Amino acid sequence: MPFDSLSLSEPIQRAIREMGYEEPTPIQAQAIPLVLEGRDVIGSAQTGTGKTAAFGLPILTRMGGHGALRCLILEPTRELAGQVDAAFRQFAKYTDLRICLLHGGVGYGPQRQALADGTDIVIATPGRLIDHLEQGTFHLKSIEYLILDEVDRMLDMGFLPDVRRIAGYCPAKKQVLFFTATLPPEIERLAAWTLRDPATIEIGLRRSPAETVRHAFYPVAMDQKFELLLALLDALHYESVLIFTRTKMAADRISERLIAHNHPVAVLHSDRSQAERTEALAGFKSGKFEVMVATDLASRGLDIAGITHVINFDVPESPDDYIHRIGRTGRAEAEGDALTIITADDLRAIHAIEHAVGKRIPRQKVENFPYHYTTLLEDRPIPKSATRPKFGRKRR
């Protein structure tokens, strides 16, 4: 089905033609007619499925041209907000609609000015938006379209009360688009409160990264993890590799050590300034840095094309985090590799991951690496008692 059968406005069609979009993705084919009709929508599509255009193109078509502030989009992280802002600017290129990005970590002045100059669309993270609302910089009384994106991530980050408050500042009559991968009770309550007679868009339209990615575990003794990482980087033919650590401190430490070994790396975690985060991401996307070291901040939602390898320097805290991390490679059905360095301490976590991806992940060795002894290298069958899913965190 071509895009021109979907009743999108001419300026929008022109922009997406220029962007090289030829056919709508499945979520776009489903969502665009519903959104154009004015329906509320609840969708569980993940980033990477064309979700941004699925809501962006019909909303921009409905909005037409410059007027009052009518559209509010909430995103859980600055990076996602920035990504949606960039996509919207491309989609709206041939309209006179104005877009304003509001997130923390940067000064208030330019944001206040952009609001004062008049904007049609605000894309924001909840905290900074509330700051502006409390300071009286602007109000949400003219909102006609409210998009709550990655709501489950907002829940994880403790933003749900803010989201509810913000939705409460909008007029009762509005079109709401609500995206979440899971529906735990808190989110179901929020959905019941914000949505009116929503149409549901199906999940599972993209093959899960668990299927499209090649997985491997690399067992090693604890004191050789970094050495093994270096050996892996030497052995791999990568174009770009994203290395995940569990903590910000580990991310900093690993990147310093990699730099000392002449690997140009970018670092992304939440203690870095907004300028540093933007520079890291831009440098990684442009290929200036072939390696980026990140905490789980980067594991959800970011659309970075062409990551050939994900290396988990630390085994992620939960199988969900594993799925999100490896989802950064193998995007849009392209194949990618996910390598996880494991130690004897990680036994339970790795069996929980295998349970979540539904298969046994092969243990591999790096050729000619001077391995110290670790029992994991013996690759024994998995004892039944170790397959219980995981410590602490609830599985979703």
In the complex, which residues of this chain contact ligand AMP (CB under 6 A)?
21, 23-25, 28, 47-53, 303
Q: In what order do the strands lie in the sheet with 291-294?
A: 213-219, 336-342, 309-312, 241-244, 291-294, 265-268
**Looking at beta carbons only, is 21 or 226 nearer to ligand AMP?**
21
**Looking at beta carbons only, is 303 or 346 nearer to ligand AMP?**
303
Instruction: Write down the residue that tokens 């540093």 correspond to.
Output: 276
Nearest distance from C-beta of residue 300 to ligand AMP, angstroms: 12
Nearest to 236 by CA among 104, 352, 386, 336: 336
Nearest distance from C-beta of residue 239 to ligand AMP, angstroms: 17
Number of H helices, E strands in the chain: 15, 13
| Helix pair 78-91, 10-18: axis angle to 10 deg | 110
Nearest distance from C-beta of residue 15 to ligand AMP, angstroms: 11
- Classify residue 254 by burial, with Cβ atoms within 10 Å: 0-12, 13-18, 19+: buried
**Looking at beta carbons only, is 50 or 327 nearer to ligand AMP?**
50
**Looking at beta carbons only, is 24 or 58 nearer to ligand AMP?**
24
Nearest distance from C-beta of residue 27 to ligand AMP, angstroms: 8
**Looking at beta carbons only, is 149 or 354 nearer to ligand AMP?**
149
CB atoms within 10 A of CB 24: 22
CA distance 363 to 70: 53
Evaluate whether 74 touches 148 at the Cβ level (below 8 Å). yes
CA atoms lying within 13 Å on the CB side of residue 187:
22
Evaluate whether 289 touches 283 at the Cβ level (below 8 Å). yes
Specify the length of the chain in residues. Answer: 396
Those residues with Cβ within 8 angstroms of residue 378's Cβ, 6 or more apart along the chain or in another chain: none
**Looking at beta carbons only, is 2 or 383 nearer to ligand AMP?**
2
Evaluate whether 369 touches 229 at the Cβ level (below 8 Å). no
Nearest distance from C-beta of residue 25 to ligand AMP, angstroms: 5
Nearest distance from C-beta of residue 186 to ligand AMP, angstroms: 24
Nearest to 177 by CA among 154, 195, 156: 195
Nearest distance from C-beta of residue 240 to ligand AMP, angstroms: 15
| Helix pair 274-286, 78-91: axis angle to 10 deg | 60
CA atoms lying within 13 Å on the CB side of residue 84:
31
Nearest distance from C-beta of residue 333 to ligand AMP, angstroms: 11
In sequence order, the β-bridge partners of residue 124 are 74, 102
Tokens of 96: 């006179």
**Looking at beta carbons only, is 53 or 60 nearer to ligand AMP?**
53
**Looking at beta carbons only, is 53 or 352 nearer to ligand AMP?**
53
Nearest distance from C-beta of residue 71 to ligand AMP, angstroms: 16
Nearest distance from C-beta of residue 252 to ligand AMP, angstroms: 28
Tokens of 168: 């409460």
**Looking at beta carbons only, is 27 or 231 nearer to ligand AMP?**
27
**Looking at beta carbons only, is 92 or 341 nearer to ligand AMP?**
92
The sign of the torsion formed by the CA atoms of 10, 301, 285, 211 equals negative
